[in-house]
Amino acid sequence: MTKPAFIITIDTEGDNLWQNHQQILTENTRFLPRFQTLCEKYCFKPVYLTNYEMATDAEYVEFARDVIARGAGEVGMHLHAWNSPPILPLTDDDWRHKPYLIEFPADQIRAKVDHMTKLLEDAFQTKILSHRAGRWAFNEFYASLLLEYGYQVDCSVTPRVNWQYSPGDPQGRGGTDYRHFPSQAYFIDPTNIANAGHSPLLEVPMSIQYKHSGLMNVLKQGYDNLRGKKRSPSVHWLRPSGNNLEKMKLVAERSLAQGNDYIEFMLHSSEFMPGGSPTFKTEEDIEGLYRDLERLFKWLSEQTVGMTLAEYYQKKVEQHV
């Protein structure tokens, strides 16, 4: 690749899932065309990683079908275990605990992946090739299912982040610990997803950098341990959080300086809607988000080329031939 790829991933899901525990709405569908238009202005192609409630929303399906038909983006799979059929509760209140898919029995994991894959491929009349796990929880069995169902690329890995302190099932062990996973794209070893191997499944980790230098980060982790604080290392993501444009640029610069041939951005679809998330609550917040996105995308358009996950996969395969 003459220029590194800029990959935009959108976890496309219901409104304000941080707070909604009983009913999931999909009003944020109406706010996606504005974002799509911004992406196309800079020749970027978002990947809408779509979960159950959005895949059954007629307005969203119409929007995404048009994006696919015009070659202006991609639809991938995103699976929230607690409301994705078949529904067999794992805890006393799955809507509140939001258990990780990898905490369910193997037969239920398979059934949910099977149902979501077929639902998406029927709704969008295309092979679904890309995937991100709900709540970032991934393991070897999950990877084996993606391989079985013909997925080419996963983007669930969040390097430098440990999700074990984020509970799902109260009786479980939390999410996946990615602290020692690669931060560059790699074809995974199905027997150990933290290692490169020879499978046809490409892992494209999120662009995430430590907030502090190497030594400072080690010292901070040691200090947290002494104080009995259990938390993941402090990091910056290539993800808007309100007034963090310069930090996002820093993540991009560091990722490219470390030899990555891509940078990966993420946001939730609901974050484009006022009140759709805890971060962007008002119309003023949304306008601030778009100011940052406009500046970030303009800056990145001069040094990257927009690709979907499937397009990036093809480039990586060609390099390996």
Cis omega (within 30 of 0) for bond into 167: no
Q: What is the pLDDT of residue 225?
A: 55
C-beta neighbour count of 304 within 10 angstroms: 22
Q: What is the largest CA-CA distance in the chain?
A: 55
Residue 217 has pLDDT above 60, yes or no: no
Tell me the one-letter amino acid at 222: G
| Range with the poorest average pLDDT among 5-19, 127-141, 216-230 | 216-230
**pLDDT (average), residues 275-301:** 97
3-state SS assignment for residue 264: strand
pLDDT digits (tens, 9 = 90+) for 184-216: 999 999 999 999 999 999 999 999 999 966 555
Residue 76 has pLDDT above 60, yes or no: yes
Handedness of CA 28, 149, 83, 174 (dihedral sign): negative
pLDDT band at 181 (very low <50, low <70, confident <90, very high): very high
31 near 273, Cβ under 8 Å? yes
Which of left, alpha, beta for 48 (phi over 0: left; psi -120 to 50: alpha)?
A: beta
Q: What is the pLDDT of residue 227?
A: 55
pLDDT band at 230 (very low <50, low <70, confident <90, very high): low
The bridge status of strand 202-203 relative to strand 186-189 is antiparallel
% the chain with pLDDT above 90: 89
Q: What is the pLDDT of residue 19?
A: 84
Residue 224 has pLDDT above 80, yes or no: no
Q: What is the pLDDT of residue 233?
A: 87
What pTM value is reported for the model? 0.94
Residue 176 has pLDDT above 60, yes or no: yes
Q: Rounded to an integer, what distance in angstroms lies between the CA atom of residue 151 and that of residue 270?
A: 25
pLDDT digits (tens, 9 = 90+) for 3-44: 999 999 999 999 999 886 678 999 999 999 999 999 999 999
The pLDDT mean for the chain works out to 94
Q: What is the pLDDT of residue 28?
A: 98
Residue 226 has pLDDT above 80, yes or no: no
pLDDT band at 123 (very low <50, low <70, confident <90, very high): very high
| Range with the poorest average pLDDT among 113-127, 163-177, 228-242, 254-268 | 228-242
